[in-house]
Amino acid sequence: MDKMTFDKHTSAQFNAELEDARKHLMEMGGLVEQQIETAFKSLMEVDTDLATRAIEKDKDVNKMEITIDKQTTQILAKRNPAASDLRFIISVTKTVNELERIGDEAAKIAKQAIELADTGSGPQGYVELRHIGEKVRQMVQSALDSFARLDAEAALSVMQQDKAVDLEYGTAIRSLVTTMMEDPRSISRALNVMWALRSLERIGDHARNIAEQVIYLVKGKDVRHKKLEKVAEQVKK
Amino acid sequence: MTTLAKDSMEAVFEGWTSTVGKPTMDSDVRMSTRNVDVHYGDKQAIYGVDLDIGKNEVLAMIGPSGCGKSTFLRTLNRMNDTIDICRITGDIILDGDNIYDKHMDVVNLRARVGMVFQKPNPFPKSIYDNVAYGPKIHGLVTRRAELDEVVETALRKASIWDEVKDRLDQPATGLSGGQQQRLCIARTIAVSPEVILMDEPCSALDPIATARIEELIAELSENYTIAIVTHSMQQAARVSHRTAYFHLGRLIEVGKTDKIFTAPEHKLTEDYITGRFG
């Protein structure tokens, strides 16, 4: 599949329904990106107002989830989509699910920011946190871009980035454990940072899952639970 | 055909060389066609089709109107012989026999390769006689008791026995459309065919009658090879193991039905099954 040709169906209504679902998905993606940014900023700047806003935003994301699910259910019931249309509906449904979970993780990050603010301190493990946070944000953006552009190679690159994030996550956790052993008074704060790191790492996983859906949509190949080298082969075919 | 239409048709096939997917099989082949061309007068309707149909396989043939799928289906039991201007070249082999061989007995061939049509067409006779007709003329049975058994077995296999067992002597034309179609299927299987051809068998039926025929197709595939032409893509997706997509007389793509309906390879197949205009 080279490009999304929603305007080519004999049924103009079907065209419009698919286009609507696509638009809503992109809108939801935008909301989630904003939510991650707000949550992350609230954590780095220990800003409880921002954190509250990030938590509030989760409601909008949840609403979008329901709207899009309704649309895709209607399309399945009425249009019996096949081939690329079917793959599109399936990948939209799954991507919506991933986005909703990303929203949940962003809200969790914001909650950690509030707890850190309550103890009156900033996040330790600061460097790793900032680094992983930036990477993960980029991954979500690239995954959504690859969906919008139906770019399987860009999706593959998101999957590759997730591997790097997982490695960095492991390193950051080890360094936090060391901090906790050296200074037991830091444990509570270190745990907040750890939870935030954990949420970021999960967001990376969800971005990877979105990328997998993009490859399924574009190439018709299910690449879930496959080695990256195998995925690369399928994408380049 | 206007020059413009002809040009655009050829444009579609610019660079078209062969069928996408795997039209032939390595084993368990019941019927195979090789390089089959069909002409009606000077108009070519089918272009070099190679296709195998496996034992116990349900093969669906889909494509837009005029793509040649029905013409192709009808070549499989020489139904086109009745059309004077129709000319068929290439090989069509049924269990090793070329069905267009001059020694082939066409009547016998049509018992081996039965056909069910779009509109149910029972004979204006009793339900019993409709099913008994084939076995009688083919001399498959001699005694009445045997014939009774053949009729009952065929009606049972066609899932209509319970509905008609108490009125076998009544005219078949009194049955509902769906029942008539199942009776026609019973009539076809009464002569123990190897292959059953179905040309849009459900297009004149309501959804429930359609569901029963589809159920029946699944059951029949345990014993027979079935080739079905259908305009309903959902039906093709539901009943068949493999799907063949025809376009302007060419066999464009063949593949496992699961794959054709989720990730077809050829753009024409994709456009057709997603309802896009080319």
Taking only the tens place, the pLDDT of each residue in B64-100 is 999 999 999 999 999 999 899 999 999 999 999 999 9
Residue ranges and CATH numbers for the domains of chain B are: 3-273 (3.40.50.300)
B252 contacts chain A (CB < 8 A):
no
How does pLDDT run across B214-236, given as a tens digit for each residue?
999 999 999 999 999 999 999 99
Distance, in angstroms, between B111 CA and closest chain A CA?
37
How far is it, in rounded angstroms, from Cα A114 to Cα B73?
71
Question: In what order do the strands lie in the sheet containing B86-94?
Answer: B43-54, B29-40, B86-94, B97-98
Q: Which residues of B touch A8 (CB under 8 A)?
A: 271, 276-277
Both structure tokens of B230: 């259908």
Inter-residue contact B100 to B77 (CB < 8 Å): no
With respect to residue A3, please indicate whether it lies within any of the assigned structural domains: no
Inter-residue contact B91 to B98 (CB < 8 Å): yes
* Inter-chain CB proximity B274 and A87 less than 8 Å: no
Nearest CB neighbour to A10, from listed B234, B273, B277: B277
User: Who contacts B30 (Cβ-Cβ below 8 Å, separation ≥6)?
Assistant: B53, B54, B55, B57, B94, B95, B194, B195, B225
Do the interacting molecules here have an ipTM over 0.95?
A: no
With respect to residue A5, please indicate whether it lies within any of the assigned structural domains: no
Give the CATH number for residue A18: 1.20.58.220
Distance, in angstroms, between B271 CA and closest chain A CA?
8
Q: Is A76 helix (H, G, I), strand (E, B) or coil?
A: helix
Instruction: Work out the angle between the directed axes of helices A12-44 and A83-118 (0-180°, nearest 10).
Output: 20
DSSP track, A133-163: HHHHHHHHHHHHHHHHHT-HHHHHHHHHHHH
With respect to residue A133, please indicate whether it lies within any of the assigned structural domains: yes
* Inter-chain CB proximity B276 and A14 less than 8 Å: no
pLDDT per residue rounded down to tens, chain A (237 residues): 556 677 789 999 999 999 999 999 999 999 999 999 999 999 999 999 999 999 999 999 999 999 999 999 999 999 999 999 999 999 999 999 999 999 999 999 999 999 999 887 766 657 889 999 999 999 999 999 999 999 999 999 999 999 999 999 999 999 999 989 999 988 988 899 999 999 999 999 999 999 999 999 999 999 999 999 999 999 998
Q: Which residues of B touch A82 (CB under 8 A)?
A: 233, 237, 261-262, 273-274
With respect to residue A2, please indicate whether it lies within any of the assigned structural domains: no
With respect to residue A1, please indicate whether it lies within any of the assigned structural domains: no
Q: Which residues of A touch B270 (CB under 8 A)?
A: 1, 83-84
With respect to residue A7, please indicate whether it lies within any of the assigned structural domains: no
* Inter-chain CB proximity A9 and B276 less than 8 Å: yes
pLDDT range class, residue B16, cuts 50, 70, 90: low
* Inter-chain CB proximity A83 and B262 less than 8 Å: yes
Distance, in angstroms, between B274 CA and closest chain A CA?
6
How far is it, in rounded angstroms, from Cα A16 to Cα A93?
17
What domain range is A58 assigned to?
A: 12-236
With respect to residue A145, please indicate whether it lies within any of the assigned structural domains: yes
* Inter-chain CB proximity B276 and A10 less than 8 Å: yes
Interface residues of chain A, partner chain B, Cβ below 8 Å: 1, 5, 8-11, 14, 80-87, 219-221
Q: Is B166 helix (H, G, I), strand (E, B) or coil?
A: coil
* Inter-chain CB proximity A80 and B276 less than 8 Å: no
Distance, in angstroms, between B202 CA and closest chain A CA?
19
Q: Which amino acid is at A144?
A: L
Q: Which residues of B touch A81 (CB under 8 A)?
A: 274
Distance, in angstroms, between A165 CA and closest chain B CA?
32
Interval B116-131 mean pLDDT: 96
* Inter-chain CB proximity A85 and B277 less than 8 Å: no
Is the pLDDT score of B4 beyond 60?
no
B207 contacts chain A (CB < 8 A):
no
How far is it, in rounded angstroms, from Cα B108 to Cα B94?
12
| CA geometry: angle A14, A17, A19, nearest 5 deg | 110
Nearest CA in chain B to A1: B267
* Inter-chain CB proximity A83 and B233 less than 8 Å: no
Inter-residue contact B53 to B32 (CB < 8 Å): yes
Number of domains composing chain A: 1
How does pLDDT run across A99-154, given as a tens digit for each residue?
999 999 999 999 999 999 988 776 665 788 999 999 999 999 999 999 999 999 99
The H or E element that residue B31 is part of is: strand B29-40
